Chains A and B, each alone.
Chain A
């Protein structure tokens, strides 16, 4: 190999290998951080968009449409204001009637959900079988069962994949639900639920939920109502009690005891009928306007609400990216400091090169190129680190949060980051390059010490 500028630079870096390695490492960590954040920003949004699937609208009685979305799809909280069953039927019949559709029209659906109970802190969602047959948590990908099947009778339950993992419950196991979302609420110990199915992963919030049928939930809460009304656990006459007064029978309540006050839901997952191959936005707009005529209802269009949410969360993204950029700028400063700190050694080398016939301009270019090469090494290693970190973070998020993310480094953004880092590194090398350019030769050839 001939003695090219590249060889001179690499030998110069070898002479200061420890400082060069540390500097390149600081650049690579900054690049990896920036790229990982950029990667997670988009992947996070994509993950959030999972869950609402093929739903066009979510109808609730929450404070805001965003709250309805967060409560009904992400189970972020328990809605306080219920919707009566009759209201649900009216919505269903008006906007997603269960009647045969003309050719070319895809039927819609209206799936009722009721939130309010939990098990070991996991949300219990009371719904109908249509939740599994019509609603798709990710559009085009309906629910699939890892074990068992959907509930068919009262007091049967289906577990989301993560709920099954977290609780350790399997098909055939029994459990009691708790009133409210906390761990310390009143346990509905009058009725036991039996697990009849476990869902496969969907990468959405549904994975950490437990699903029961609506009637079961209504019966539980009707019993609570009866107890409150009669000041007694339930009718004790005409049945046997144990030595400690405990009842020796199941709770005496049936669907016949349910009143309109019991038949409550907290949200509706609504999909309007659509013409095949047509954009549904026009039909959705009509339905949206019609539903909004009842001002007590909140109507959320998931895509719009997610946009709204990310407009808020986006500010946090920007802060994180700004922080990563500051780290990147810091690494550029570290290049500057490392090169500045090695100027004593470098001055002698510059003087020797000048004696051998190297021009000042070439010295300037050698130092600048060295800084840029540190930028190249740092950005390449940083990209590799980000590539490695992406799947690792995806795995952790899937295991810990049940979020499916698909971290992808967009090539254009990666290239832009790389070019930016190299330019930044070269800029950081500017001052040392000027200093090297101006190095007085005679003074720096004298014996040391």
Chain B
């Protein structure tokens, strides 16, 4: 549960980024705030900078300027390993192709997320097993490459939320799914985030997603002109 003193899950101020100096901004966000536990859909066409924005929020790219706070912690004030730790503790990420660790079992994929978030070793296995069970996965000791797409999706969601992050970033999570499965996957993601109290920022160019989110923004509307 959040309280009035709980900082926003995400607070962006005057964020600018371009891949080459002097070029037009790939990301230009004057301000964006997502309160704790809120779920927002960010739309935009291909090449509009949606995914790049998520990389910036995760601290995987350096902005040209600007400020990003995740759960009140400044991403860019932390450097190196500290920023990596912040990402592990405060953020979860879900990708279109799941990006699971090959050679690892479902359980180990989720445990890896807990390990980098600083969870004590003795708690890793039970927490990972519980997260997978809550998403209806029982055969958790199978290598992920031997699992169906639906099962892999659940592993990816469990991995993103198991650390109880402040914010989950979902990058086109349903782009490769048919409408029926896309809807099911989105329901899974949204419910999991809600259950864990995590805010969700989902980027998608799929118009069918709009109805699922009360908060919707177009990336172009975030820019200061």
- With an 8 A cutoff between CB atoms, is B18 at the interface? no
Interface centre among A4, A11, A14, A361 (most CB of B within 10 A): A11
Is B112 positioned at the interface, with any CB of A under 8 Å from its CB?
yes
B89 touches A357 (CB 8 A): yes
If the complex has contacts A353-B112, A357-B88, A357-B116, are A11 and B60 also in contact, measured as CB distance less than 8 A? Answer: no
- A448 near B102 with CB under 8 A, answer no
Contacting pair A445 B116 (CB below 8 A): no
Quick one: CB contact mask for A329-367 with B, threshold 8 Å, 1 for yes?
000000000000000010011011111111111100000
Contact across chains for B122 and A11 when beta carbons are under 8 A apart: no
How far, in whole Å, are A359 and B124 apart by their CA atoms in the complex? Answer: 19
Contacts of B95 in A (CB 8 A): 445
Which residues from 427 to 449 on chain A have a C-beta closer than 8 Å to any C-beta of chain B? 441-442, 445, 447-448
- The answer to whether A442 touches B99, judged by C-beta atoms less than 8 angstroms apart, is no
Known: A356-B159, A442-B60; 15 extra A-B contacts, CB below 8 A, are: A348-B99, A349-B101, A353-B101, A353-B116, A355-B93, A357-B88, A357-B116, A359-B81, A359-B85, A442-B51, A442-B52, A442-B55, A442-B61, A445-B95, A447-B176
Interface segment, B35-43, B63-71, B103-111? B103-111
A352-B99 CB under 8 A given contacts A8-B112, A357-B85, A447-B176: yes
Q: Which residues of A contact B102 (CB under 8 A)?
A: 15, 345, 349
The answer to whether A315 has its CB under 8 Å from any CB of chain B is no
Does B31 reach chain A (CB closer than 8 Å)?
A: no
Q: Is A316 an interface residue (CB 8 A)?
A: no
Count of chain A residues with a beta carbon within 8 Å of a chain B beta carbon: 32
Chain A interface, DSSP helix/strand/loop, else mixed: helix
Q: Which 7 A-B pairs have the closest CB atoms?
A: A357-B88, A15-B103, A2-B121, A357-B116, A3-B115, A359-B81, A3-B111
B103, A3: Cβ atoms closer than 8 Å: no
Choice from A7, A356, A360, A442 contacting B88 with Cβ under 8 Å: A356
A136 to B58, CA, bound (A): 82
Whether A4 contacts B80 in the complex (CB less than 8 A), given A355-B87, A357-B85, comes out as no
Number of interface residues of B (CB under 8 A): 38
Q: A19 interface residue, CB < 8 Å from B? A: no
The winner among A12, A14, A351, A442 for most chain B CB atoms within 10 A is A442
Report the nearest A residue to B172, measured CB to CB. A447
CB of B84 within 8 Å of the partner chain: yes
B84 pairs with A2, CB closer than 8 A? no
Is B81 touching A356 in the complex (CB atoms < 8 A)?
no
Contact with A along B44-83 (1 / 0, CB 8 A): 0000000110010010110000000000000000001100
Specify the main secondary structure of chain B where it touches its partner: helix
**A contacts, CB < 8 Å to B:** 1-4, 7-8, 11-16, 345, 348-349, 351-362, 441-442, 445, 447-448
CA gap between A3 and B115 in the complex, in Å:
6
Q: Tell me the complex Cα distance, A314–B61, Å.
A: 60
Q: Shortest distance in angstroms between A58's beta carbon and chain B's nearest beta carbon?
A: 66
Check B111–A2 contact: CB distance below 8 A.
yes
Say yes or no: B101 contacts A447, CB within 8 Å. Answer: no
Q: Which of A14, A447, A448 contacts B103 (CB 8 A)?
A: A14
Task: Kindly state the separation between the CA atoms of A110 and B132 in the bound complex, as whole angstroms.
Answer: 89
A447 and B172 CA atoms in complex are apart in Å by 11
The smallest C-beta distance from A201 to any residue of chain B, in angstroms, reads 54
Contacts of B58 in A (CB 8 A): 355
- Given A12-B103, A352-B99, A448-B97, CB of A361 within 8 Å of CB of B81: yes
A11 to B143, CA, bound (A): 10
Contacting residues, chain A, for B88 (C-beta < 8 A) = 356-358
- Is the CB of B117 closer than 8 A to any CB of chain A? yes
Q: B84 — which chain A residues lie within 8 A by C-beta?
A: 354, 357-360
Residues of A within 8 A of B55 (CB): 441-442
The smallest beta-carbon distance between B181 and chain A, in angstroms, is: 16
